[in-house]
Amino acid sequence: METLLLDYYRYLEWALYALISLSGILGAVLAATTRDDAYDAAGRQGKWAWTGILVLSAVVVFTRMPFLSWIGMVAIGLYWFDVRPQIKDILQGNYGW
């Protein structure tokens, strides 16, 4: 019974890492297809800098490198919850605070 629970935990952990890595790749694709001037208007790093950060983070998370995978998860979360909404608002014309 104990090995069954450990196997279930390993599969769940692998699926979670794969899902986070996939969201990093999706973020990199969205970053690469976004206009360059939107990043300048938002005061963020450039388009290709974010694309590189997200691709590298996705690779590090997928390979599950110790400690670096956590940094990669933070970078992916930072893009999705801070950078992407601001870029999206600028592209849609919402300039408010």
Listed in sequence order, the residues at least 6 apart from 13 whose beta carbon sits closer than 8 Å to its beta carbon are none
User: What is the per-residue pLDDT for 96?
Assistant: 65
Tens digit of each residue's pLDDT, the chain (97 residues): 678 777 888 999 999 999 999 999 999 999 999 999 999 988 899 999 999 999 999 999 999 999 999 999 999 999 999 999 999 999 998 876 6
Instruction: Name the CA dihedral angle for 35, 41, 43, 45, rounded to a multiple of 10 degrees.
Output: 10
Q: How many angstroms separate the CA atoms of 13 and 41, rounded?
A: 38
Listed in sequence order, the residues at least 6 apart from 91 whose beta carbon sits closer than 8 Å to its beta carbon are 34, 35, 38
User: What is the per-residue pLDDT for 1?
Assistant: 67
User: Nearest-CA neighbor of 30 among 72, 90, 71, 87?
Assistant: 87
Listed in sequence order, the residues at least 6 apart from 90 whose beta carbon sits closer than 8 Å to its beta carbon are 38, 41, 42
**Whole-structure pTM value:** 0.88
